A and B are shown apart, each in its own frame.
Chain A
C-alpha cells in the first residue's frame, strides 16, 4: 500500500467509526437519561440516518427552498465577497505599500476600522444594503479586504530594494517595475492571506444570512430556521454542507497558488 492510500484508508476508517458511534449511541435511550450526557440525544445532535433523510428531502425538488439553491446562494456570495475583497485589498496594499506618505496618512483609519468587530457591522450593513445578496457580499468584503490588504502591504514593503534597483538599471520604468518586480514579489505574501480569506468570507456570508431571512437564502438561513423549529437534522445538513464548501474552496486556492507560485522552491517538481 502506498503512503497516500494508507493515509486515505485511515481517514475513511475514522469517519466510519465516528458515524457508526454517533448512530449507535443516539439510539440508546439510557445514555440521554444519564446526568451530563443528556445531549447525546437525537433531539440535540440528530442521527446520521435522520440527517441523510433530511438531506435527501432538502436536496429534492419537494422542499420550498432546496439545499442546492441555498448552497448556491452561499457559494455565490462568498466568491463575490472574496473576489471583490481580494482585488481591492491587493490594489490598496500595493499602492499604500509603495507610497510611504499615503501609508502614514491612512494608518490610523485602517487600524481603527480593522479593530472594529465586523459582526457589529451586520445590522448597519443590513440597514443599508437590505437582506439580499449584496449585504452578504459587503460583509464578506469588509473582512477579506483587510486580511489581503495587510499582507499585500507588508509584501509590497518588503520587496528587496536591490531587485528594484537592478531592474531600474536594466531600463525598467516605474510601471514596468511594478508589474515585473513588485507585484510578483508581493503576490507570495498575498497568497498566504487567501486561505484564511476564503474561510473568513464564508463566515461573513453565513453571519449575514443569519440575519438576512429567506430573501437572502443561503445555508446560514437554514441554520437559523432550524434553530427556530428545533430541527437538529436540518442544522447538521447545513453544517456539513458548509464544511464541504469550505474544503473545496480551500483546495481550489491551493491549486491556484501552486500554479502561480511554481517558481518557489517548495513547489518545485510539483507543477
Chain B
C-alpha cells in the first residue's frame, strides 16, 4: 500500500474560552493527523471540546494556540473550501421545502437547473425521502430532518466532511439505517470524514480510527485503529467477536474518563 497523503493536521491545538474574567480551557495540547479518504471518529465525554475541535477545523473558532492545516494550508478564520459541515444542531432552512433545502448548496455554486434537479432527485431517493420533496421541515420527523441536513451537505460532494453528532438525537433504528447510508456513500466517493460522537458503537461501526478524548480540558487520550474489514454490514458487524473486542477495549479507556471524579 502506498504511503497515504496527510490531509488534515492538528498541531498543539488549544482553546480557552474567555468570558469576562472567567476562562474555560476547552481543549489542550491536541495533536493528530488525518489521512486523505480516512474516516476518523472523535469520542469523549460531554463538554470535552469535541465540537470546539471541529469548529477549529472549520475555521469557525480561532485556536488560542497551535495550528490547523488542511492540505498544507493553515485554516485562519475563513471557512475552508471543499469542506462540508453537518452541525450538531438542526440547521435545515425551515422556509425551504425538502427538495429546495437539498438544492441550496448547488444553487450557491451555480449548478445549472437540470443537473441540480437530477442530483437532488438522486439524493432524495438515496435518503428515502421520496414523496416528501415539497414538504416543509416543520412537518418532518427529527430523523427525516437530519437526513435532509446530511443530503444537503453530501450533494455538493465535499472532499472533507466534518460531522458533529449528526445522529445524536435519533433512535437506534434510524441511526443504524443512516450509518448504512453514510458508509455506502463513503465507499462510493471516499471523502475524508471527521465524525464527532459520544456513541462508542457508532464510532466503531463507521471509523477507520477513533480518537478518544479525556474530560475537559480535552486532550487526546488514545488514537485507536479499528481493525474491522470493509465494507461493513452495520447490523451483522455488531454480532461479531471482533466488534465485541474493539468495544470492550475502548469502553475500558473511555470508562476511565466517564468514571473519574471531576
Partner-B contacts on A (CB < 8 A): 160, 162-163, 165-173, 176, 180-181, 184-185, 261-265, 268
Judge whether A167 and B79 touch: CB under 8 Å.
no
One digit per residue, 1 when the CB lies within 8 angstroms of any chain A CB and 0 when it does not, for chain B 116-143 equals 0000000000000000000011110000
Q: Assuming the A-B contacts A170-B105, A173-B108, A263-B96, are A268 and B156 also in contact, with contact meaning beta carbons closer than 8 angstroms in the complex?
A: no
Q: Considering the chains assembled together, what is the distance between the CA atoms of A124 and B136 in angstroms? A: 49
B220 contacts partner chain A, Cβ-Cβ < 8 Å: no
Partner-A contacts on B (CB < 8 A): 58, 60, 79, 83-85, 87, 89, 91, 93-97, 104-105, 107-109, 136-139, 149, 152-153, 156, 158
Judge whether A180 and B93 touch: CB under 8 Å.
yes
- CB nearest neighbor in A for B83: A169
Residues on the A chain within 8 Å of B107, using CB: 176, 180
Q: Considering the chains assembled together, what is the distance between the CA atoms of A185 and B91 in angstroms? A: 12
B11 to chain A, nearest CB (A): 23
Q: Considering the chains assembled together, what is the distance between the CA atoms of A165 and B164 in angstroms? A: 14
Judge whether A171 and B85 touch: CB under 8 Å.
no
Judge whether B95 and A263 touch: CB under 8 Å.
yes
- CB nearest neighbor in A for B60: A165
Judge whether A264 and B94 touch: CB under 8 Å.
yes
Q: Assuming the A-B contacts A165-B85, A169-B85, A172-B108, are A265 and B79 also in contact, with contact meaning beta carbons closer than 8 angstroms in the complex?
A: no
Residues on the A chain within 8 Å of B96, using CB: 180, 263
Residues on the B chain within 8 Å of A168, using CB: 79
Q: Considering the chains assembled together, what is the distance between the CA atoms of A71 and B115 in angstroms? A: 53
Q: Considering the chains assembled together, what is the distance between the CA atoms of A142 and B23 in angstroms? A: 46
Judge whether B93 and A170 touch: CB under 8 Å.
no
Contact of A166 among B87, B95, B139 (CB under 8 A): B87
Residues on the B chain within 8 Å of A265, using CB: 138-139
Q: Considering the chains assembled together, what is the distance between the CA atoms of A261 and B153 in angstroms? A: 25
- CB nearest neighbor in A for B85: A169
- CB nearest neighbor in A for B79: A168
Judge whether A169 and B84 touch: CB under 8 Å.
yes
Contact of A170 among B94, B139, B152 (CB under 8 A): B152
Judge whether B104 and A167 touch: CB under 8 Å.
yes
- CB nearest neighbor in A for B88: A162
CB<8 Å pairs between A and B, sample of 30: A163-B91, A163-B93, A165-B58, A165-B79, A165-B85, A165-B91, A166-B85, A166-B87, A166-B91, A166-B149, A167-B93, A167-B104, A167-B108, A168-B79, A169-B58, A169-B85, A170-B104, A170-B108, A171-B105, A171-B108, A171-B156, A173-B108, A180-B107, A180-B108, A184-B93, A185-B95, A263-B136, A263-B137, A263-B138, A268-B139
